[in-house]
A and B are shown apart, each in its own frame.
Chain A
Amino acid sequence: MTDSIAIIGSGIICALGTDKGQVRDSLLENRTGIGELHYLKSCHKELPVGEVKMSDAELKQALAVPATEEVSRTALLGAYALRQALADAHLSPQSLQGKRITLISGTTVGGTDATEQYSCANNTQAIARIVGIDCQQSTISTACSSALNAIILGTRMLQGDETDIVIAGGTEALSLFHLNGFNSLMILDHDVCRPFDATRQGLNLGEGAAYLVLQRTPEACMQESNIQAYITGWGNRCDAYHQTATSENGEGAFLAMTDALQMANLKANDIDYVNAHGTGTPDNDKSESTALRRIFGEEMPSVSSTKSFTGHTTSASGSIEAVICLIAMQNRFVPANYGWNNSTPECITPVALPTQKELHHVLCNSFGFGGNDSSLVISDREQPLCSIPTCECTFVGENEVTQEEELKELRTYISPMESRRMCKIMKAAFLTSMRALEKADITAPDAIIIATKYGMLENGQKILSTIHEQGEESISPTLFMQSTHNTLAGALAIHLGCHGYNITYSQGEESLQWALRDAQRLICEGKANSILVGLHNEMPPQLLYSKSIIVKKV
């Protein structure tokens, strides 16, 4: 057995408020933070959103950032929440002395913003710089599950004694990019969203940031840290069905929740509350309900989605909702599924009003584009995690593509009907991946870990120039669906039918390092025997680079 992982600090900023106290009050008083668009300069006043009630100027002032300095809103929100989390953890220079510290942040918009030079890693660095913390950094970008995956990575790094203190979470500001992108998919509600409701029409977007400070429990006790709760289980799986829709039986979600419960050594009826992903789309809520019923059967715990309070905060949602779970546990109540009124047999019946309840074990779900499904168990008591044995790995099938002409060879592996939707970087990624699997004599890997410096940059730039030149109305749904950094990982999983662990690292030049280390870590944890790892970079017009490797257990 190894040390359990303690949460010793947390910070949050979202539509409900700029600190935990405000968020708590809004939840207890059942007040939504969703309203008419105000801060983002968009023509879409008909779309309700969950904005943070501070302008960029006000955020800069609060962070002592010069008003004229160019900083993205995503970085400002991240810095605001990070600073709060560190203060909450009472981490002084003395207590940090000689300790290995790692900041892990999840974002997508941070990597689509020109201010960040289209690099997620730059966004994380900006956050650290503003707060004034000097530490190892990593950035995960798996769309709406990013922040939860950041927390999961942090937990595993502590378990494996790779670091001593982790600050993990995510940040995302509203942007014309994704507001119009989601609009092109026709999944935004023109009213305040109603997750799990019979009349639900779609989601409302939100923004914000939240971070957890994590430490191994014995050290937290020695330091007399204020332990708020423990992370006792996690799961990350891939639905491997569709880039943006969920499978009918909620397979990825079911597997992720099953893994999390198993790891925490808990039975389904030990869970007191589920903070559902619950976006309010007809699709997600139905399929998540199916997955929940497969896990809990007739004994459904209290369930609510808090997205009708905060909006769907995309890459930050996992950590924002984890902090909401902490607030709920500390104040002994279940937040309402605000706005829910009409039951429907295809969905679970959520908690309609804030309800007093002792919460010992809470399950928090976060599902992203690319079928990336993550689940976290937060408990008020320790459940020691299994230790990670060391093990040996080997690397097989390594191959690269650096020229567009080479992409013709993809014909041997992929049909025209399937490849018609593939942009250059995706074709390159598929080509090197198929070759690697062939060389390693594997039809389907157990997991997929992708590294990318700039993500789907060509698609992203096309979207940005469309908005710039033609206005907000005409974004191609296909382009948007293939704009998140984890598009490649999702597409590969769908093609290969791979339901295993699926992660995308976007940490600049170190991306591949992080991916390879994670592959080895996953194998040692006993969660995979063979993993498809790839590095795929594009910077139109000059850069196209793809490399794939199979990492195998010896």
Chain B
Amino acid sequence: MEDLILELKEKIIEVLNLEELTPEDIDPKAPLFGAGGLGLDSIDALELIVLLEKSYGIRLASAAEGKNIFTSVENIAQYVSQNRKK
């Protein structure tokens, strides 16, 4: 799980172009969206959906589904390890 969390952090930084951040800067339990968290928005959510499909073969049916999954890096890691096809 640790490896997956690091991998996810790296991919998130790359795909969302968070140039100023390193994996160490991201707390795996911290909220990703909204104020108080990393401050990601709805556009980032769509990019994460594409990331899930491209890297792990997981296809979400709607943007709304993503909301429950993308709460924190740890949560995404759990979802990916349970549902990955790649």
Residues of A within 8 A of B (CB): 184-186, 242-243, 245, 416-417, 420-421, 473-478, 481
Question: A477's contact among B19, B47, B54, by CB below 8 Å, is which?
Answer: B47
Flag if B50 contacts A476 (CB, 8 Å): yes
Known: A186-B49, A420-B18; 11 extra A-B contacts, CB below 8 A, are A185-B46, A243-B43, A245-B42, A420-B19, A421-B17, A473-B53, A474-B50, A476-B47, A476-B50, A477-B46, A478-B47
B3 at the interface (CB under 8 A from A): no
Across the two chains, which residue of chain A brings its CB closest to B66? Answer: A186
State the CA gap A421–B44 with chains docked (Å).
10
| Chain A residues, Cβ within 8 Å of B16 | 420
Given the known interface contacts A186-B62, A186-B63, the answer about A416 and B49 at a Cβ–Cβ threshold of 8 Å is no
Question: A417's contact among B39, B62, B63, by CB below 8 Å, is which?
Answer: B39
Per-residue A-contact encoding for B36-71, CB less than 8 Å = 1, 0 else: 000100110011011001100000001100000000
Flag if A481 contacts B43 (CB, 8 Å): yes
B20 at the interface (CB under 8 A from A): yes
State the CA gap A245–B63 with chains docked (Å).
13
Flag if A416 contacts B19 (CB, 8 Å): yes
State the CA gap A282–B84 with chains docked (Å).
30
| Chain A residues, Cβ within 8 Å of B19 | 416, 420
Q: Can you list 20 contacts pairing A with B, beta carbon distance less than 8 Å?
A: A186-B46, A186-B49, A186-B62, A186-B63, A242-B42, A243-B43, A416-B19, A416-B20, A417-B39, A420-B18, A420-B19, A473-B53, A474-B50, A474-B53, A477-B43, A477-B46, A477-B50, A478-B43, A478-B46, A481-B43
Q: What total of chain B residues lie within 8 Å of the partner, measured CB to CB?
A: 16
Interface residues of A, dominant DSSP: loop
| Interface Cβ pair total, 8 Å cutoff | 35
| Chain A residues, Cβ within 8 Å of B42 | 242, 245
Question: A420's contact among B17, B53, B63, by CB below 8 Å, is which?
Answer: B17
State the CA gap A184–B53 with chains docked (Å).
11
Instruction: Give residues of chain B (13-47) contacting chain A, Cβ–Cβ below 8 Å.
Output: 16-20, 39, 42-43, 46-47
State the CA gap A243–B42 with chains docked (Å).
11
Across the two chains, which residue of chain A brings its CB closest to B43? Answer: A478
Across the two chains, which residue of chain A brings its CB closest to B64? Answer: A186
Closest beta carbon of chain B to A345's beta carbon, Å: 20
| Chain A residues, Cβ within 8 Å of B63 | 186
Closest beta carbon of chain B to A281's beta carbon, Å: 11
| Chain B residues, Cβ within 8 Å of A481 | 43
State the CA gap A204–B46 with chains docked (Å).
19
State the CA gap A207–B30 with chains docked (Å).
45
State the CA gap A184–B54 with chains docked (Å).
12
Closest beta carbon of chain A to B63's beta carbon, Å: 5
State the CA gap A495–B83 with chains docked (Å).
39
State the CA gap A481–B47 with chains docked (Å).
11
| Chain A residues, Cβ within 8 Å of B50 | 184, 474-477
State the CA gap A420–B46 with chains docked (Å).
16
State the CA gap A417–B20 with chains docked (Å).
9
| Chain B residues, Cβ within 8 Å of A476 | 47, 50
State the CA gap A417–B50 with chains docked (Å).
21
Closest beta carbon of chain A to B33's beta carbon, Å: 13
Closest beta carbon of chain A to B41's beta carbon, Å: 9
| Chain A residues, Cβ within 8 Å of B54 | 474
State the CA gap A242–B62 with chains docked (Å).
20
Closest beta carbon of chain A to B76's beta carbon, Å: 17
Closest 10 CB pairs between A and B?
A: A477-B46, A420-B17, A186-B63, A416-B20, A474-B54, A478-B43, A478-B47, A420-B19, A477-B47, A417-B39
